[in-house]
Structure 1
Amino acid sequence: MTFLSADDLIYGYKNGIFPMADSDGSLYWYSPDPRAIIPIDTYKPSKSLRPILNKSYFEIRINHDFEGVMRGCASPREGDEATWISEEIIGAYTELHHLGFAHSVETYVENQLVGGLYGVSIGATFFGESMFHTVSNASKVAFHYLIENLKQRGFELLDTQFINDNVRRYGAVEIPKTEYIRLLKRAVSRKARFTDSATEYIINLSR
C-alpha cells in the first residue's frame, strides 16, 4: 500500500482492521484474533491515581493539539528506536481529525502538552490508538477522562487492538475476533458524539 487516506481508515475501522507502519515506512493492515477491548462500564481508576485526579494537577483538553499528540506518541520509547506511526499515518489521521472522526485527549501542565492519547470515533465505538507522557501519570489521567467522556456520551465499545501490560492495567480483556466483529457492527451503527465542538475542555465530569 503506497497511500493512506481518511476514507481508507474509515472503511478499515468499520471492518475491524487498522494500519501500522513497518520500520521502512511500509504500511500493513492488521486484524488481531483474539482482539483486545476495554469494557467501558467496569473501568475504575487505581487507588494511586485517585489523589492525582483530586488535586487537578493536570489541565485536560480535547482536540486542542491533535497532531502534537500523534507526534508525542510517535516518539521512540526508551530502548526502542522504531515507531509504527509514520509521517504518512500522521497525515492520514490528521485528515481524519479534520473530518471529525479522530480525537485526542490531552494533559497539560502550565500550558505545556505533557501527555495524551488519540483514537478514532465511529458511531458508538472508540478505537484507541496510542498514548504518551513526558510527566508521570499524564497519560493515565488522559485515559481516565477518555473513559468518563465515553460513559457520558453513550459509547458502547472501546477497542485497544492488542493485549499488553499497559492496557491490562486499564482492564483490557481479549475476546475472539468473531465476537469483536459482532460487537463492532452493532456499535458503529449506533449514534454517539465524542465531542460537540472542534476544541473543548473537559469539564463537569464525575471522577
Structure 2
Amino acid sequence: MSGAAPAKLVFLQPGAAPNAFPDIDHACSEPNGLLAAGGDLSEARLLYAYRHGIFPWYSEGEPILWWSPEPRCVLRPGEYHVARRLRRWLASSTFKVRFNTVFDQIVAGCAEQRFGQDGTWITAEMMAAYRQLHLSGWAHSVEIWSGSAVVGGMYGLAIGKVFFGESMFSRETNASKLAMFALCRQLQARSFALLDCQVVSPHLLSLGAISMPRSEFRSILMNACASASPLTDLPRVAVAPKSLI
C-alpha cells in the first residue's frame, strides 16, 4: 500500500461537501482500504466517490464506512473467462437475461442473508440510495430469469466507461456467472474500460479478474469516467444465453 494509515480516521459530517473525502492514498492498511466514516448516501456524494475509487460498505448499526482497497479487483470486459463446462451450459440453458426491468428485486436478492453470513451489508438506507441512482439512470440491474421467476443477477453503477459492480446473487447454478458474462458482453460492445469488482477473491480471479494497483486504477478512472452521461441503451428484452457465446 502506498499510503500510511492515518492517525485518526476522518469522519465526514452529513452536510459535508461531496468531495470532502481524504485522498485515497491515505486509506488504512488494516482494515485494508478503510478511508473515512460518516457523511451520507446522497447521489452527489456517491457519484463523486465512485469516480474517485471509493465505495460505501458497512453493516446495520455502523456509521457509513468508505473504502478504497489496495489492490483493486477489476475485470476487463473482453477478458471474462468462460470455462468449457460453462460454455456447454450456456449453449443449452433456457434462462433469459434482461436488464433494468426489476431493479429492486435484484437488490433485494443480493441483500438476502446467505449461509455462513451474519446479516447483510445492504441496508434499507443503501437500497433507497441505489434505487434513486437507478431512477437517475446511473445504477443498473442484470437479471437472470427462469420462466417468470428471477433466479439470479447483479447490480452496479455505470459512470463513463467503467461499470462499478456492487453485488450479485444466485438461486440456481450458474445464474450469477451468466449475469456477469452477459454484462461483460454489453460493456465490451460499448468499449468500457473496466468492470470494477472491488475486493480480490479467488472466485473473481477464476473468472478473469485481476489485481490492479490502486494508483493504476485511479489513473484509469480519471480518463474513463470523464464522460459521465448515464448508460441508457441496455436491452430490456430477453436475451438467450447461447447468443452470448
Structure 1-normalised TM-score? 0.92
Shift of 1:154: 1.4
- Which runs of structure 2 are paired with 1:1-207 in the superposition (5 Å)? 1=38, 3-190=40-227, 194-196=231-233, 200-201=236-237, 203=239, 206-207=244-245
Q: Answer with 1 or 2: which has the greater Rg.
A: 2
* Deviation string, structure 1 residues 22-59 (Cα, Å, up to 9, x no partner): 24243100011111111222223111111221124211
- Provide the C-alpha distance between the structure 2 equivalents of 1:202 and 1:18, rounded to a whole number of angstroms: 31
Contact 2:78/2:185 (8 A) holds in 1: no
Query: Structure 1 unaligned runs (5+)?
Result: none
- Provide the C-alpha distance between the structure 2 equivalents of 1:72 and 1:3, rounded to a whole number of angstroms: 24
Secondary structure at the aligned position of 1:72 is classed as helix
The aligned residue for residue 8 of structure 2 is none
* Deviation string, structure 1 residues 116-158 (Cα, Å, up to 9, x no partner): 0001000001001110011111111111100100011111111
Secondary structure at the aligned position of 2:187 is classed as helix
* Deviation string, structure 1 residues 146-204 (Cα, Å, up to 9, x no partner): 0100011111111111001221121111111111100111111247864426x712548
Contact 1:154/1:192 (8 A) holds in 2: no
* Counterpart code for 1:45: V
Higher relative contact order (CA 8 A, sep 6+): 1
Contact 2:98/2:239 (8 A) holds in 1: no
- Provide the C-alpha distance between the structure 1 equivalents of 2:227 and 2:40, rounded to a whole number of angstroms: 30
- Provide the C-alpha distance between the structure 2 equivalents of 1:114 and 1:63, rounded to a whole number of angstroms: 15
Contact 1:115/1:139 (8 A) holds in 2: yes
Runs of 4 or more, structure 1, over 6 Å off, are: none
- Provide the C-alpha distance between the structure 1 equivalents of 2:191 and 2:244, rounded to a whole number of angstroms: 15
- Provide the C-alpha distance between the structure 1 equivalents of 2:229 and 2:86, rounded to a whole number of angstroms: 28
Secondary structure at the aligned position of 2:129 is classed as helix
Aligned-residue CA RMSD in angstroms?
1.9
- Provide the C-alpha distance between the structure 1 equivalents of 2:125 and 2:73, rounded to a whole number of angstroms: 25
Farther off after superposition, 15-24 or 121-130: 15-24
Shift of 1:69: 0.6
Contact 2:96/2:239 (8 A) holds in 1: no
